[in-house]
Amino acid sequence: MWIAAAALCANGEHRLHALGVTTKGWVVGAALLPSGVFVKKSGGAWVNEGYRHPLLTAMAWLPGKPDTLFLAAGDGVIRIDAQGRWRVLTDETVTELQDISAGAGGLLAFGHTTGFQVSEDGGATWREISAGLPRRYGKAVRLDRLRKGRVVIGTENGFYVSDNLGGSWRLAGAAGFQAMRVEQSPHDASLWLAVTQRGGIFRSTDGGVTFEATARDPAAGRNLYDIAFDPTDARRIAVCGWGPGVLVSEDGGVTWEARNRGLPRPDVWSIAFDPDKPGRLYASVHEDALYVSEDAGRTWRADGLPGSIILKMAFVPAGGAK
Amino acid sequence: MKRLAGLTLAAVIASQSLLAQDYEQRRRRLIEKMARVEDGKLHYHSIAARLWLREGIPGAEKKLRELLQGDVSGDMFWMFPMTAIAYLDRGQLSDSARALMRRSWKTYYPFRGDTENHWLLYYTSMYLMAQMWPEMGGEGWFNGKSSKENLEEARRWIESWVKLTTTKGQGEYDCTHYIGVYLLPLSYLAAWAEDPRMKKQASMMIEWIAADFAVESLDGIYVGSHARTDDRQVVEKWRGVSADFAWLLFGQGKETPPFGGYSLYYALADGPEPPAIIRAIATDRSRPYTHLEKKRTRNRWRFNDELHGQVYKTTYMTKDYAVSSDQGGVLQPVQQHSWDVTWRVDDPEGVHNTLFSLHPYSGMVELEEYFTFSPDFGTEAVWRSKTTYDSPDKLLGGSPYEKIVQSEDAVIALYDIPPGTRFPHINGFFSKDLQEFVEDASGWIFCRGGRTWIAYRPLAPHVWKPIEGGGRRLFSPYLKNGTVVQAAGMDEFPNLDAFRKAVLALPLKFSLEPAPRVEFRTLRGRMIEFAYGQTPRIDGRPLDYAGWPAFGGPFLKGKAGEPRLVMTHGGVRRVLDFGTLTVSESRAARTK
Condensed to tens digits (0 to 9), the pLDDT of residues A157-191 reads 999 999 999 999 999 999 999 999 999 999 999 99
For CA atoms B489, B492, B495, B499, the dihedral sign is negative
Specify the DSSP element, H or E, that contains B189.
Answer: helix B178-192
For residue A223, list chain B residues with Cβ-Cβ distance below 8 A: 374-376
Whether residue B454 contacts residue B354, with contact meaning beta carbons closer than 8 Å, is answered with no
Alpha-carbon distance values, A300 to A224, A281, A295, B301 (Å)? 20, 9, 8, 37
In 3D, which of B111, B129, B123, B127 has the Cα closest to residue B72?
A: B111
A282 within some domain: yes
Residue in chain B closest to A32 (alpha carbons) equals: B73
**Nearest-CA distance B504 → chain A (Å):** 50
Inter-chain residue contact A113 with B376, CB threshold 8 Å: no
Alpha-carbon distance values, B436 to A107, B496, B497, B500 (Å)? 72, 7, 10, 11
Side by side, which strands form the sheet with A99-103? A99-103, A107-112, A115-119, A127-128
User: CB-based contact (8 Å) between A190 and chain B?
Assistant: no
Whether residue B80 contacts residue B121, with contact meaning beta carbons closer than 8 Å, is answered with yes
Alpha-carbon distance values, A263 to A292, A304, B246 (Å)? 10, 13, 55
Distance CA B516, CA B217 (A): 33
Residue in chain A closest to B108 (alpha carbons) equals: A51
**Which class for B322: exposed (0-12), middle (13-18), buried (19 or more C-beta within 10 A)?**
buried
Task: Find the CATH number of the domain harbouring A305.
Answer: 2.130.10.10
Residue in chain B closest to A225 (alpha carbons) equals: B374
Inter-chain residue contact B376 with A87, CB threshold 8 Å: no
For CA atoms A312, A313, A319, A322, the dihedral sign is positive
Instruction: Give the burial string for B270-287 (b: 16+ CB within 10 Å, else e).
Output: ebbbbbbbbbbbbbbbee
Q: Specify the pLDDT at position A320.
A: 53
A117-120 own/partner pairs: CB under 8 Å, 24+ apart: A117/A90, A118/A151, A118/A165, A118/A166, A119/A89
Give the closest of B77, B109, B299 to A29, CB-based. Answer: B77
Give the closest of B153, B307, B375 to A91, CB-based. Answer: B153
Question: How many Cβ pairs within 8 Å bridge chains A and B?
Answer: 92
Strand partners, B563: none
pLDDT in tens, chain A (322 residues): 333 333 343 345 999 999 999 988 889 999 999 999 999 998 899 999 999 999 999 999 999 999 999 999 999 999 999 999 999 999 999 999 999 999 988 999 999 999 999 999 999 999 999 999 999 999 999 999 999 999 999 999 999 999 999 999 999 999 999 999 999 999 999 999 999 999 999 999 999 999 999 988 898 899 999 999 999 999 999 999 999 999 999 999 999 999 999 999 999 999 999 999 999 999 999 999 999 999 999 999 999 999 999 999 999 998 655 4
**Which class for B469: exposed (0-12), middle (13-18), buried (19 or more C-beta within 10 A)?**
exposed
Inter-chain residue contact B160 with A286, CB threshold 8 Å: no
Inter-chain residue contact A31 with B73, CB threshold 8 Å: yes
- Mutation target vs B (from A52, A68, A75; most B CBs, 10 A cutoff): A75
Whether residue B170 contacts residue B332, with contact meaning beta carbons closer than 8 Å, is answered with no
Whether residue B324 contacts residue B198, with contact meaning beta carbons closer than 8 Å, is answered with no
**Nearest-CA distance A161 → chain B (Å):** 20
- Mutation target vs B (from A26, A92, A133; most B CBs, 10 A cutoff): A92
**Nearest-CA distance A179 → chain B (Å):** 12
Q: Specify the pLDDT at position B254.
A: 85
Distance CA B169, CA B273 (A): 23
Alpha-carbon distance values, A101 to A116, A268, A285, B429, B582 (Å)? 11, 22, 24, 51, 47
- Mutation target vs A (from B111, B124, B158, B385; most A CBs, 10 A cutoff): B111
| Residue B80, φ and ψ in degrees, nearest 5 | -75, -35
Torsion of CA B172, B176, B181, B183, to 10 degrees: 100
**Nearest-CA distance B480 → chain A (Å):** 30
Instruction: Give the burial string for B104-136 (b: 16+ CB within 10 Å, else e).
Output: bbeebbbbbbbbbbbbbbbbbbbbbbbbbbeeb
In 3D, which of B502, B544, B507 has the Cα closest to residue B526?
A: B507
Tell me which residue range forms the domain holding A97: 3-317
A148 within some domain: yes
Amino acid (1-letter code) at residue B129:
M
- What residues does each domain of chain B span? 2-283, 297-507, 557-587
- Spell out, as residue ranges, where chain B has pLDDT lower than 50: 1-18, 20, 592
For residue B119, list chain A residues with Cβ-Cβ distance below 8 A: 92
Distance CA A114, CA A91 (A): 14
Centre a 10 Å sphere on the Cβ of residue A42 and count the other Cβ atoms it contains: 8
Give the closest of B77, B372, B381 to A96, CB-based. Answer: B372
| Residue A48, φ and ψ in degrees, nearest 5 | -85, 105
Inter-chain residue contact A92 with B160, CB threshold 8 Å: yes
DSSP secondary structure of B263-314: HHHHHHTTPPPPPHHHHHHHH--SS-EEEEEEEEPSP--SS-SSSS-EEEEE
For residue A79, list chain B residues with Cβ-Cβ distance below 8 A: 144
A322 within some domain: no
Whether residue B462 contacts residue B483, with contact meaning beta carbons closer than 8 Å, is answered with no
Residue in chain B closest to A76 (alpha carbons) equals: B112
User: How far is residue A4 CA from its own chain's centroid?
Assistant: 11
Distance CA B392, CA B467 (A): 12
Q: What is the pTM (predicted TM-score) of this model?
A: 0.95
Q: Specify the pLDDT at position A10.
A: 38
Q: Specify the pLDDT at position B372.
A: 93
A261 within some domain: yes
Q: How many domains does chain A fold into?
A: 1
Please give the DSSP secondary-structure letter assigned to residue B171. Answer: S
Whether residue A32 contacts residue A51, with contact meaning beta carbons closer than 8 Å, is answered with no
Instruction: Say which residues have a Cβ less than 8 Å from residue A251's Cβ, sequence separation at least 6.
Output: A235
Q: Specify the pLDDT at position B18.
A: 47
A161 within some domain: yes
For residue A267, list chain B residues with Cβ-Cβ distance below 8 A: 376
For residue B145, list chain A residues with Cβ-Cβ distance below 8 A: 87-88
Centre a 10 Å sphere on the Cβ of residue B30 and count the other Cβ atoms it contains: 22
User: CB-based contact (8 Å) between A67 and chain B?
Assistant: no
In total, chain A counts a number of residues equal to 322
